[in-house]
């Protein structure tokens, strides 16, 4: 069969191609980007940029599969939001509820430390055996395509959640910083 992009229906037998596609439910790719800060944190900013570039590059493939990407940028600015979203480390990218990197590795993040006035660790991305402060586009693209071409329906890993100590420390420092009345901040 030859498919013509401008053609509304195919030349196949009834019940094929276009009719099937009309009846199929579109399976959106839901990407949740969870972060502590986009104004100061270089890791969050870089992850945001890498995610946007990856989505742009994979858009044609997604279009051909009939998938649409929905991106939810979720600013985790309180302990309550962290608990609600079962936030473990910043930044986080989840595709259809699954973190694209299951193992959590962190290192000192100077920009988040500057933000809250204390030492804070943020995510280190590991791709093909190398560590990055920002996830490589290839890592994100692979995760998106894996979700598109897998037999989705695998639920996200539901495990017991407890707010990590690192995030407790970050939010406590932010609350202390925000409640300070001096003009220069309380460092």
Closest-CA residue to 67 (of 58, 80, 76): 58
Any domain includes 102: yes
Token pair of 167, please? 């995030």
Task: Give the domain range for residue 144.
Answer: 26-150+162-174
pLDDT band at 178 (very low <50, low <70, confident <90, very high): low
Distance between CA atoms of residues 77 and 35, nearest Å:
8
pLDDT band at 4 (very low <50, low <70, confident <90, very high): very low
Instruction: State pTM to two decimals.
Output: 0.74
The reported pLDDT for the residue numbered 177 is 65
Residue 138 CA from chain centroid, whole number: 14
> What proportion of the chain, given as a percentage, has pLDDT over 90?
46
Distance between CA atoms of residues 132 and 147, nearest Å:
22
Any domain includes 182: no
Distance between CA atoms of residues 53 and 126, nearest Å:
19
CB atoms within 10 A of CB 48: 19
pLDDT at 22 over 90: no
pLDDT tens for 150-160 read: 865 555 556 78
Any domain includes 16: no
Any domain includes 179: no
Any domain includes 185: no
CB atoms within 10 A of CB 36: 28
Q: DSSP E strands: which ranges in the chain?
A: 29-35, 69-75, 92-95, 98-99, 106-108, 121-123, 125-127, 130-132
pLDDT tens for 54-113 read: 999 998 888 888 888 999 999 999 999 999 999 999 999 999 999 999 889 988 887 776
Token pair of 106, please? 């962190």
Any domain includes 68: yes
Give the count of domains, the chain.
1
């Amino acid at each position: 069969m030859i498919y013509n992009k401008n053609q509304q229906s195919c030349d196949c037998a009834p019940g094929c191609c276009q009719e099937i596609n009309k009846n199929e439910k579109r399976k959106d790719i839901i990407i949740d980007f969870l972060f502590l800060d986009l104004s100061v944190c270089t890791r969050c900013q870089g992850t945001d940029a890498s995610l946007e570039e990856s989505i742009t590059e994979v858009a044609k493939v997604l279009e051909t599969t009939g998938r649409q990407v929905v991106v939810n940028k979720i600013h985790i600015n309180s302990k309550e939001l962290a608990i609600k979203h079962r936030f473990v480390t910043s930044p986080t990218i989840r595709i259809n509820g699954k973190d694209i990197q299951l193992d959590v590795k962190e290192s000192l993040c100077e920009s988040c430390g500057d933000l809250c006035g204390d030492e804070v660790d943020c995510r280190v991305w590991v791709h093909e055996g190398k560590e990055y402060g920002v996830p490589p586009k290839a890592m994100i693209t692979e995760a998106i395509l894996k979700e598109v071409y897998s037999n989705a329906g695998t639920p996200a890993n539901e495990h017991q959640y407890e707010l990590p100590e690192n995030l407790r420390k970050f939010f406590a420092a932010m609350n202390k910083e925000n409640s300070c009345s001096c003009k220069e901040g309380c460092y």
